[in-house]
Amino acid sequence: MNYFRSQVTIKKIRMTSRLEVELSGVRLKNPVIPASGTFGFGEEFAQLYDLNLLGALAFKGTTREARYGNPLPRIAECGRYGMINAVGLQNPGVDHVLQKELPRLRTLFQGPVIANVSGFSLDDYAYTCEQLDKADGVSILEVNISCPNVHNGGMAFGTDPKAAADVTHTVKAVTHKPVYMKLSPNVTDIAAIARACEKAGADGICLVNTMLGMRIDIHRRKPVIANRYGGYSGAGIFPIALRMVNQVAKATQLPIIGCGGIESAEDVVEMMMAGATAVEIGAANLTQPLACKNIIDRLPELLNELKINDINDIIGIV
């Protein structure tokens, strides 16, 4: 009896280890991470499945001060191709996150936690990252540079190599944990932005964030979203995200978290073949609450079908 139990244990270990990946020294039991902005702080999803199935968890984007966000309506549906959102970084602020949300999250999830950080000035980024860097419950800082730079006419930090490098350098100066810069796809040369972040000391890259989009209510003859434009995410941007991940993988030596329209285990494998070490699942969580669990459950079977022994073997093979 003990023999058979040991064989079952060995089989489980093998099934787990073939999915393990590493991001800057942080071990993930699998490459699947729910993306910031679609998973909150995990509480709602914890009622549906054990969050400890996840490779890591990226919690809701956090800013220095609490933010209400943009006026309603904030969401525009785009059929099976995705959605547009203009939530406006609604969050309770970093102090509340550290005092309330993070401790609560750690009771639900014991794996690596990724803190997503947004800001509107270099001081904002420095303060928020420095506070989160002190938290024992945070493993990686994911710095969203799609935000408008209030000191530079509102242009997003992530659309200019120098501005992206400035944020990277500023954050690295006040932190000790791995820093992953989350890049905007709304640029003409994503590789140039990634190289600037790498040169400034980034430990990794996360891409892509949402694309700028719009929907119009033809009956009201007005934009659907009160903010007029918003971030387009979902299946429709997957080919674009895949291309950009591949470009950055070839342009830098940094590990990449790939995201943008991933909805299946097949998408995960494709994204990793393009160059990603791990992936984030975003919009799919909103339409398919079990998306991350289903993808994780499917991955071992898919690897068997593709005759892939270790998922790390496919990273960047294309």
Give me the mean pLDDT over the 178-192 stretch.
96
For residue 130, the domain's CATH number is 3.20.20.70
Q: Are the CB atoms for 54 and 292 separated by under 8 Å? A: yes
Tens digit of each residue's pLDDT (9 = 90 or more) over 292-311: 999 999 999 999 999 999 99
ω before 208 within 30° of 0 (cis)? yes
Q: What is the pLDDT of residues 229-253, one digit of tens each?
A: 999 999 999 999 999 999 999 999 9
Would you say residue 12 lies in a domain?
no
Q: What's the pLDDT at 154?
A: 65
Q: Tell me the pairing of strands 230-233 and 211-213.
A: antiparallel
With 50 as the cut, is the pLDDT of residue 41 above it? Answer: yes
Any domain includes 21: no
In a domain, 128, yes or no: yes
| Residue 132: predicted pLDDT | 98
Distance between CA atoms of residues 3 and 81, nearest Å? 50
Strand partners for 185: none
Average pLDDT, the chain: 93
Q: Is 175 helix (H, G, I), strand (E, B) or coil?
A: coil
Domain assignment present for residue 11? The answer is: no
Burial tier of 276 (Cβ tally within 10 Å: 0-12, 13-18, 19+): buried
Please report which confidence band the pLDDT of residue 147 belongs to, taking 50, 70 and 90 as the band edges.
confident
Residues recognised as catalytic: 147
* 152-174 mean pLDDT: 91
Whole-angstrom distance, CA of residue 255 vs CA of residue 205: 6
- Here the tokens at position 30 are 């699998």
Helices (H), the chain: 2-17, 43-46, 94-96, 102-108, 122-133, 161-172, 190-199, 238-251, 265-274, 284-287, 291-305
Dihedral angle computed from the Cα positions of residues 254, 57, 110 and 301, in that order, rounded to the nearest 10 degrees: -80
Q: Which residue has the tokens 């590493």?
A: 22
In a domain? residue 77: yes
pLDDT band at 151 (very low <50, low <70, confident <90, very high): confident
In a domain, 16, yes or no: no
- What pLDDT, on the 0 to 100 scale, is given for residue 149? 66
Percent of the chain residues past pLDDT 70, beyond the cut? 93
For 275-294, how does the pLDDT look when each residue is reduced to its tens digit (9 = 90+)?
Answer: 999 999 999 999 999 999 99
d(CA 142, CA 205): 8
User: Is 15 part of any domain?
Assistant: no
List, in order, residues 6 or more apart from 276 with CB less than 8 Å away.
31, 245, 249, 256, 257, 258, 315
Per the listing, tokens 């496919």 go with 314
pLDDT at 5 over 80: no
How many C-beta atoms surround the C-beta of residue 4 within 10 A? 8
Q: Is 10 a residue whose pLDDT tops 60?
A: no
Nearest to 146 by CA among 271, 260, 42: 260
Q: By percentage, how much of the chain surpasses pLDDT 90?
A: 90
Residue-range definition of the domain harbouring residue 57: 27-314
Q: How would DSSP label each residue in 80-129?
A: BT-EEE-----B--HHHIIIIIHHHHHHH--S-EEEEE--SSHHHHHHHH
pLDDT exceeds cutoff 90 at 3: no
Q: How confident is the model at residue 16 (pLDDT cuts 50, 70, 90)?
A: low
Q: How confident is the model at residue 80 (pLDDT cuts 50, 70, 90)?
A: confident
**Average pLDDT over every residue of 66-83:** 94
Residue 150 lies in a domain: yes
3-state helix, strand, coil in the chain (%, to 5): 40, 20, 40
Domain count of the fold of the chain = 1
What pTM, to 2 d.p., does this model score? 0.93
**Given a cut of 60, is residue 8 above it in pLDDT?**
no
pLDDT above 80: residue 74: yes
CB-CB contact of 121 with 151 (8 Å): yes
The pLDDT of residue 24 is 98
Lowest mean pLDDT among 8-22, 52-66, 157-171: 8-22
Position with higher pLDDT, 28 vs 16:
28
